[in-house]
Chains A and B, each alone.
Chain A
């Protein structure tokens, strides 16, 4: 079974600084997707960034980028120029290529942004 581990229950960052959230996963599959989701207090899960396992290039979305290390099964999220609105719970998630929409989530990292 696939597992996703986020070893940092809480992280904090100063506004305008950079923070990196860690995620490791375990799978025997070769084709899969990895995601970072943001869940603010409003509870709605919002996709931040996704990475296809077959792509060697790390995904980037504006201030958000990932460091995808397939051999190490590591998938970290870097947030640059942190903003107050980035404060939320962040979840790392895994999906097999053939599993339809089934996501396996980590336990989450609560990010606090200090002004």
Chain B
């Protein structure tokens, strides 16, 4: 059984650019969540996808969007990058069960210059 993987590990972008981050869920998991973790802070929930549909969103603007594919891998897209978007982006996957544990990936470190 493989764990949650994310790519790339690190990324440097310029303000105004667009970025796509990728997450491969753990086998058998149909729910994925994305979090933004600014330096020295706790992760903040961005949104959640269940069976390819967004079904929960945190306090993030529409320029943060996502996709979940039939194989339950997912993408986080951020348009019009701002300096404050510099952070560690974490994805986590779980099964659809209410009490089931979610497993985190190692994250993608995004730096916006």
Contacts and interface: CB of A to CB of B under 8 A. Distances in A.
Classify chain B's interface size: 20 to 34
B33 A102 contact: yes
B34 to A, nearest CB: 10
**Which secondary structure dominates chain B's binding surface?**
strand
A103 interface: yes
A102 B98 contact: no
A100 B41 contact: no
Classify chain A's interface size: 20 to 34
A17 B103 CA distance: 29
Interface in B45-99: 45, 48, 50, 55-56, 58, 88, 90, 92, 94, 98-99
B22 to A, nearest CB: 16
Interface of B: 31, 33, 35, 40-45, 48, 50, 55-56, 58, 88, 90, 92, 94, 98-99, 101-107, 109
**Nearest 4 A/B pairs, CB to CB:** A105-B42, A45-B104, A101-B33, A44-B106
Interface of A: 4, 33, 37, 42-47, 50, 52, 91, 93, 97-108
